[in-house]
Structure 1
Amino acid sequence: MTQLQFNLNMELLKDSVMNSNIETVVKSAIVLVLNEFMEKERDDYLNVSAYERSMERHDYRNGYYDREFTMSIGKITLKVPRTRNGEFSPTVFEKYARCDQALVISMLEMVINGVSTRKVTHIVEQLCGESISKSFVSSLTQKLDPIVNEWAQRPLNTTYYPFLFVDAMYVKVREDQRVVSKAIYIATAITKNNTREILGLSVDHTENYDSWSRFFQQLKSRGLQSPKLVISDAHQGLQKAIQREFIGTTWQRCNVHFKRNIIEKLPKKDSAEIRVMIKRIFEAVTIEDVRLFKDELMSQFGNQPKYEKALAILDEGFEDTIQYMNHPVEVRCHIRSTNSLERLNQEIRRREKVIRIFPNTQSAFRLVGAVLMQYQETTYNKKKTLTK
């Protein structure tokens, strides 16, 4: 173990204690320790102490140079020893680089968790006593690019995903000095081992058949096999893309969205009975009972004009909304709607509201990707299997 002998400048330390705050005292003490540590490292490198003569000497001392070093306590100035041939390099900066890395990681985590760039710069200034520019924080976030890109392009052929959930949300992005709306496509899945996983994302100009097809083709290029069921809302372009890209896959219309569409068309007054019967349909245990309860409702209320629009929606989308009933009872509550994906979208929206307008498409992809990675790690990975 390295033994250090400190020749402390007691007058300097005394002045720091008597006339400065505790932060200055801590900084002064750290400077003294690190300077002494580097001096000892140079002695070890030269294989000779100061003013000592030896035939085994490796090199000669060549003074010092000042180097500023930012740590979590703030910026300090160290006297770095040099050698004549210039090959000596102290390990202090390598060892304590972890402080810098921790600071950078903390800054990135603040951005991912929805802290604005302005607030990040203020927090870092309070912690380190050093001001940083917003452009510096922005440049740091670009360190996420290779990480997010690697995650977004990871292979999907290592397991089978029988149930796929897809949805799109919209964010504002600056493009050619204009603020435009961009669609962010997100796909999650339930694995054959009954765990959840976020498969990927994409940013496109608008939500239509072509953009959904491109997103599905991207997932397939990474090895995604056709699932048993794709759960989504009733966007027509999305439905068409599912039929085209996943041969043999069944489409499950989101149960929650479907019931909401029906209820919106019911009159607010004198509709309590039909509302109860609609609820009864989707609480049935068997697919036979689901169809039976639906037929009873249509028979009882089908001739009443005030229910015509609601019943038309029920009849048109009924079969697509009960496909989850063809799967085991224990998984039905997890695959009948896109609620899990809606909760994920809320996490993204909470952070996106702080930014409000992304400076470009890549920044939107970067932040949303980082949020998805974090959600996968902190939420989905902690759950061994699905729970109700």
Structure 2
Amino acid sequence: MEQDNKLPKDFLKQFTSKEDFQSFFSELYKQGVEQMLQAELDSHLGYEKHAKDGNNTGNSRNGTYPKKVKTQSLGDMVLNIPRDRNSEFEPQLIPKGQRMSDKLEESIIGMYSRGMTTSDIVEQVKQVYGVDVSEGTISNVTNRIIEHIKEWQQRPLEAVYYTVWMDGIVLKVKQNGKYINKCIYLVIGLKNDGLKEVLGMWMAETESASFWMSVLTDLKARGVEDILIACTDNLKGFTDAIKGVFPDTVTQLCVVHQIRNSCKYVVWKDRKPFCADLKDVYGAVNRDAAEAALEKLSEKWGHKYRHAIEAWRNNWDCLTSYFDFPLEIRKIIYTTNTIENLNRGIRKYTKTKVQFPDDQAALKAVYMAITNIEKKWSMPIQNWGFILQQFLTIFDNRCRL
């Protein structure tokens, strides 16, 4: 005869509302889990509670402590977790230090790192895990990232970087009740194995040469003794800031930035022929040929676009540093494309976060974007073995293999 699995009607009559029913099963679940935890402790100690032949292991029960945990269907719940006097017992059902499963926390951090907003994550967690979490809980979980950022930002660095690329990315961040532009300073370093790494990130309200000097000072304090070549934009005073901290560093201003700046002075109809003539300057085989091409450019366009050409003359030494190096090194230092690619990657991850409620939120988002991007930097730059020989020939013992 088939067994009747239905609950007795008399049992159900005791519940006058849905809330009463929910409360009953919450308590039932709580008692069940606590009994399972007690059974775990019995197994750990080697005897059951009140056993006559127990307590011969040098350890014993030591009461319980309350712990708030999350459940998939019953929400938050306070459980009484048993403990032992020797503090050796570690529950497997609900491990120490966990308020929700590691898998769920990792999923939340992973979603956050890929640019999802907290409200999107709340909805996704509900759909996938059947768990209701608040946006505040999401923020608390992602706040674990702040500790990682502190460790990452203070980690020791290499003694020598063959090349560094330096630039900033501007984000909208709330301050004193309104959203303002803030700059996050970024530095990528090229190591002696040909691999790249982001050396750190620093936040300020505006990009300035003086703040860049403090960034470089921080790098030095973290163990950087020498930078062979630094690639930067043409921010006024940038070269002096670098020389103030690393006096032997060769500074190369980004040629692409300079081209863009020159084109601001040129009307649309003249840009194509102007840029074609300008290419003879930065694409020359050596510095002498570049100077000759600049003179020709000045003769042809100087009367009309004097400021566009003067910008090259005023920064000539730092714009043409790459001519002192072989073609393979020139290719990696004449532009800041390396760090601009990083900035584009960060924009991709933060595109859903147009504005940030505070500095911490902005730094979390940028850090998570960087960690995702750096996972792809698993191979040395192309032809590194050949390029390394060139660095060793030019800089000799400064390379420190």
* TM-score, scaled to structure 2: 0.73
Partner residue in 2 for 1:263: 263
Partner residue in 1 for 2:120: 119
Give the 3-state SS of the residue equivalent to 2:285 in structure 1: coil
Equivalent residue pairs, number: 355
Q: Compared with structure 1, are the counterparts of its residues 240 and 36 closer, same or farther at alpha carbon in structure 2 (3 Å cutoff)?
A: same
Give the 3-state SS of the residue equivalent to 1:165 in structure 2: strand
Is contact 1:159-1:191 (8 Å) kept?
no
* Letter matched to residue 144 of structure 1: I
Partner residue in 1 for 2:353: 355
Is contact 1:112-1:367 (8 Å) kept?
yes
Is contact 2:263-2:271 (8 Å) kept?
no
Q: Compared with structure 1, are the counterparts of its residues 12 and 357 closer, same or farther at alpha carbon in structure 2 (3 Å cutoff)?
A: farther
Is contact 2:73-2:131 (8 Å) kept?
no
Once the two structures are TM-superposed, the CA of residue 235 in structure 1 deviates from its matched residue by 1.1
Query: Does 1:345 pair with 2:346?
Result: no
Distance in 2 of aligned mates of 1:76 and 1:109: 23
Once the two structures are TM-superposed, the CA of residue 234 in structure 1 deviates from its matched residue by 1.1
* TM-score, scaled to structure 1: 0.75
Query: Does 1:144 pair with 2:141?
Result: no
Q: Compared with structure 1, are the counterparts of its residues 57 and 11 closer, same or farther at alpha carbon in structure 2 (3 Å cutoff)?
A: farther
Partner residue in 2 for 1:175: 175
Once the two structures are TM-superposed, the CA of residue 238 in structure 1 deviates from its matched residue by 2.7
Once the two structures are TM-superposed, the CA of residue 104 in structure 1 deviates from its matched residue by 0.4
Query: Does 1:334 pair with 2:335?
Result: no
Once the two structures are TM-superposed, the CA of residue 253 in structure 1 deviates from its matched residue by 1.0
Is contact 2:69-2:79 (8 Å) kept?
no
Query: Does 1:186 pair with 2:186?
Result: yes
Once the two structures are TM-superposed, the CA of residue 254 in structure 1 deviates from its matched residue by 0.5
* Letter matched to residue 308 of structure 1: R
Distance in 2 of aligned mates of 1:211 and 1:81: 51
Once the two structures are TM-superposed, the CA of residue 128 in structure 1 deviates from its matched residue by 2.2
* Letter matched to residue 309 of structure 1: H
Distance in 2 of aligned mates of 1:318 and 1:384: 31
Distance in 1 of aligned mates of 2:243 and 2:85: 70
Q: Compared with structure 1, are the counterparts of its residues 250 and 10 closer, same or farther at alpha carbon in structure 2 (3 Å cutoff)?
A: farther
Distance in 2 of aligned mates of 1:89 and 1:225: 46
Q: CA RMSD in A?
A: 4.2
Is contact 1:184-1:202 (8 Å) kept?
yes
Partner residue in 1 for 2:236: 236
Per-residue CA deviation, residues 237-296 of structure 1 (Å, 9 max, x unaligned), is 433322322213232110111112223333433565443232233223333433343344
Query: Does 1:385 pair with 2:386?
Result: no
Once the two structures are TM-superposed, the CA of residue 193 in structure 1 deviates from its matched residue by 2.8
Once the two structures are TM-superposed, the CA of residue 178 in structure 1 deviates from its matched residue by 2.9
Q: Compared with structure 1, are the counterparts of its residues 386 and 151 closer, same or farther at alpha carbon in structure 2 (3 Å cutoff)?
A: farther
Is contact 1:71-1:128 (8 Å) kept?
no
Q: Compared with structure 1, are the counterparts of its residues 149 and 296 closer, same or farther at alpha carbon in structure 2 (3 Å cutoff)?
A: same
Partner residue in 2 for 1:153: 154
Is contact 1:162-1:228 (8 Å) kept?
yes
Distance in 1 of aligned mates of 2:322 and 2:227: 13
**188-197 or 283-292: which moved more?**
283-292
Is contact 2:162-2:227 (8 Å) kept?
yes
* Letter matched to residue 192 of structure 1: N
Is contact 2:145-2:364 (8 Å) kept?
yes
Once the two structures are TM-superposed, the CA of residue 305 in structure 1 deviates from its matched residue by 2.1
Q: Compared with structure 1, are the counterparts of its residues 260 and 99 closer, same or farther at alpha carbon in structure 2 (3 Å cutoff)?
A: same
Is contact 1:155-1:222 (8 Å) kept?
yes
Distance in 2 of aligned mates of 1:208 and 1:81: 54
Give the 3-state SS of the residue equivalent to 2:203 in structure 1: strand
Once the two structures are TM-superposed, the CA of residue 385 in structure 1 deviates from its matched residue by 3.1
Give the 3-state SS of the residue equivalent to 2:95 in structure 1: helix
**83-92 or 138-147: which moved more?**
83-92
Identity of aligned residues (%): 23
